[in-house]
């Protein structure tokens, strides 16, 4: 079985090597590729100017990730961080980090990437009046509150963070407010990318023709149509691309993009339209050119503590045990998900499958707990109804009311914005859909933003001083394995309180056209463009 699989795989590889004129070096070194073809990938209109500090959504991130290279990159298969632009990141106490960067790297305008480009960029993004969307990612650095006061009307007392120090052309030092062991993983996030000197003179003009240090350089952006990039031949990183031109083609309709993918007018999509998922139709449509990703995310139901009657542990346990996750995934969600058995994604270091004891379907126990809870009245789940959420949430409600005999209603919200303002203004009247996708691959990113008292995405308004203390302790543990153990202890406490009911993890399915012979889909639900190989015929 294994041998047959391997033989099948080796055939296209052999063809690709022949096509590349037997370059010899394989795919590893950027100089070995001599392909000058063009590739197009599915894109949505970026919502913000194309700068890393101000980009938070998928449409912009796709371009940013090719235009820029950060200190740390993530392996597309395992999501493990590796040093990309960083030469070394060292710390003895997880509080003061000494970062050395590789020499000889250039921005697309020919200037050298120096330590100062990182420090200046970070200071710019963090500075309050610059109003950058990723400012909060720097809140752990010493001096952040001086440049970014909580009160938007207050004037910052400093222009630069005291925790950032340039030690030389290729070395700088970062001092945090408190120890944070996941910092070396976190700085692979786009907001931490360096900026060339030309950016600071005219940020608005720069965003119209961005200059990065990544594998591809900017050619043009036509609003609402496409973004064109081309290979940067001076790129030093291991994720160089093996084709020349990249066209990020903007589509407003997923089905249209899919039909273009089938006809070869579009080369890559990181998600499939719902119609193609039914009965795994996409697998036959694409003749094996479909991709699975290990997306790092979790979908859950938050049970806000402020809703009268819901601050009831037995009720939360009963609800979780009453949801038939397997059947809903099979019948409503086209098998695009796997049932969640923990509070993390299955693809993360430190995840223990089954660590959530109540994340299973057990009608008997559910009924017993529900009787014990003494809850009377009606359960509700609120969510925006687009994107297939209505169907999924209704199915959950049906499962709950069938098992517990309690009425359960789906409360539709007109838009995602309306739905989120319901949560941030603490006006929910029942459970709310609460999904989470990782900013960077670490279990820390599944705990601190969601379960810590007062944190940004704590939709349940959950607060447990013991959890807070454990998380702080884990953050300050320099030893990676030791930190993971502490995070897992925090997860145990969270499991006992069950402020959020884990539902499922999305698998992530994508596909590529026959013009490509190889492609990968990363954990971010994004094309790993460096894995693209053009098929021999094109």
Sole window of 91-99, 267-275, 430-438, 513-521 interacting with another protein (rule: CB under 8 A): 430-438
Tell me: does residue 456 bind another protein (CB under 8 A).
Answer: yes
Least spacing, CB of residue 457 vs another protein, in Å: 5
Nearer to another protein, 274 or 363 (CB): 274
Tell me: does residue 256 bind another protein (CB under 8 A).
Answer: yes
Q: Is 437 helix (H, G, I), strand (E, B) or coil?
A: strand
Tell me: does residue 131 bind another protein (CB under 8 A).
Answer: yes
Least spacing, CB of residue 159 vs another protein, in Å: 14
**Across-strand partners of 249?**
42, 226
Nearer to another protein, 113 or 411 (CB): 411
Q: Among 100, 251, 367, 507, which residue interacts with another protein (rule: CB under 8 A)?
A: 251
Residues 150 and 138 sit within 8 Å (Cβ to Cβ): no
Least spacing, CB of residue 296 vs another protein, in Å: 14
Cα–Cα distance measured from residue 362 to residue 453, given in angstroms and rounded to the nearest whole number: 31
Sole window of 67-75, 246-254, 352-360, 464-472 interacting with another protein (rule: CB under 8 A): 246-254
Which residue matches tokens 């009963």? Answer: 318
Q: With helix as H, strand as E and coil as C, how does 69-94 read?
A: CCCEEECCCCCCEEECCEEEEECCCC
Residues 396-425 that bind another protein (CB under 8 A): 414-421, 424
Least spacing, CB of residue 433 vs another protein, in Å: 10
Residues 400 and 322 sit within 8 Å (Cβ to Cβ): yes
Which residue matches tokens 């062991």? Answer: 181
The tokens of 103 are what? 């020499």
Tell me: does residue 129 bind another protein (CB under 8 A).
Answer: yes
Which residue matches tokens 């070096």? Answer: 25
Residue 432 region by backbone torsions, left for phi larger than 0, else alpha for psi between -120 and 50, else beta: beta
Q: Among 112, 177, 259, 401, which residue interacts with another protein (rule: CB under 8 A)?
A: 259
Nearer to another protein, 15 or 133 (CB): 133
Longest dimension (CA), the chain: 73
Sign of CA dihedral 242, 77, 185, 459: positive
Residues 171-210 that bind another protein (CB under 8 A): 204, 207
Tell me: does residue 48 bind another protein (CB under 8 A).
Answer: yes
Residues 465 and 493 sit within 8 Å (Cβ to Cβ): no
Say which DSSP state 112 is in.
Answer: B
Tell me: does residue 61 bind another protein (CB under 8 A).
Answer: no
Count Cβ atoms below 10 Å from residue 116 Cβ, excluding itself.
15
Tell me: does residue 481 bind another protein (CB under 8 A).
Answer: no
Least spacing, CB of residue 230 vs another protein, in Å: 20
Least spacing, CB of residue 205 vs another protein, in Å: 10
Sign of CA dihedral 11, 286, 39, 188: negative
Residues that bind another protein (CB under 8 A): 45-49, 56-57, 128-129, 131-133, 135-136, 148, 150, 152-153, 204, 207, 222-225, 250-253, 256-257, 259-260, 263, 265, 414-421, 424, 434-437, 449, 456-457, 459
């Amino acid at each position: 079985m294994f041998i047959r699989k391997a033989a099948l795989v080796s055939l296209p590889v052999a063809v690709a090597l022949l096509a590349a004129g037997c370059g010899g070096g394989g795919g590893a070194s950027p100089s070995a590729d001599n392909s000058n073809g063009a590739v197009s990938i599915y894109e949505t209109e970026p919502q913000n100017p194309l700068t890393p500090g101000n980009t938070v959504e998928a449409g912009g991130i796709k371009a940013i990730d090719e235009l820029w290279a950060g200190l740390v990159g993530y392996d597309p298969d395992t999501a493990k961080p590796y040093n990309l632009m960083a030469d070394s990141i060292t710390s003895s106490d997880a509080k003061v980090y000494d970062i050395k960067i590789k020499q000889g790297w250039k921005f697309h305008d020919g200037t050298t990437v120096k330590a100062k480009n990182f420090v200046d960029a970070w200071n710019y993004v963090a500075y309050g009046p610059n109003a950058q969307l990723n400012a909060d990612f720097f809140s752990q650095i010493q001096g952040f509150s001086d440049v970014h006061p909580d009160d938007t009307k207050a004037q910052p007392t400093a222009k630069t963070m005291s925790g950032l120090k340039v030690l030389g052309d290729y070395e700088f030092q970062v001092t945090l407010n408190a120890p944070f062991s996941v910092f070396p993983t976190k700085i692979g996030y786009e907001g931490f990318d360096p900026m060339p000197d030309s950016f600071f003179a005219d940020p608005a003009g720069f965003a119209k023709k961005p200059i990065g240090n990544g594998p591809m350089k900017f050619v043009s952006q036509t609003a609402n149509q496409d973004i064109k990039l081309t290979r940067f031949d001076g790129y030093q990183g291991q994720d160089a691309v093996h084709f020349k031109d990249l066209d990020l083609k903007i589509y407003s309709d997923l089905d249209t993009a899919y039909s273009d993918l089938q006809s070869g007018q579009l080369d890559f999509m990181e998600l499939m339209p719902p119609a193609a998922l039914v009965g795994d139709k996409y697998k036959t449509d694409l003749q094996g050119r479909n991709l699975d990703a290990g997306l790092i995310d979790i979908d859950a139901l938050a049970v806000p503590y402020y809703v009268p009657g819901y601050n009831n542990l037995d009720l939360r346990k009963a609800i979780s045990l009453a949801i038939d996750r397997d059947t809903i995934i099979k019948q409503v969600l086209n098998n695009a998900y796997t049932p969640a058995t923990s509070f993390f994604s299955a693809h993360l270091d430190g995840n223990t499958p089954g660590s959530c004891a109540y994340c299973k379907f057990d009608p008997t126990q559910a009924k017993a707990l529900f009787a014990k809870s003494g809850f009377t009245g009606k359960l509700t789940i609120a969510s925006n109804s687009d994107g297939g959420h209505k169907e999924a949430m209704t199915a959950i409600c049906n499962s709950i009311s069938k098992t517990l005999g309690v009425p359960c209603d789906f409360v539709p919200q007109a838009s995602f914005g309306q739905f989120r303002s319901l949560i941030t203004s603490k006006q929910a009247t029942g459970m709310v859909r609460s999904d989470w996708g990782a900013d960077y691959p670490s279990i820390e990113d599944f705990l601190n933003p969601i379960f810590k008292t007062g944190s940004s995405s704590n939709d349940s308004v959950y607060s447990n001083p013991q959890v807070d203390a454990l998380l702080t302790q884990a953050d300050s543990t320099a030893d990676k394995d030791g930190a993971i153990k502490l995070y897992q202890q925090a997860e145990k406490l969270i499991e006992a309180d069950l402020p959020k009911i884990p539902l499922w993890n999305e698998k992530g399915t994508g596909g590529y056209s026959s013009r490509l012979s190889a492609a990968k889909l990363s954990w971010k639900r994004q094309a790993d463009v460096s894995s693209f190989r053009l098929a021999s015929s094109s």
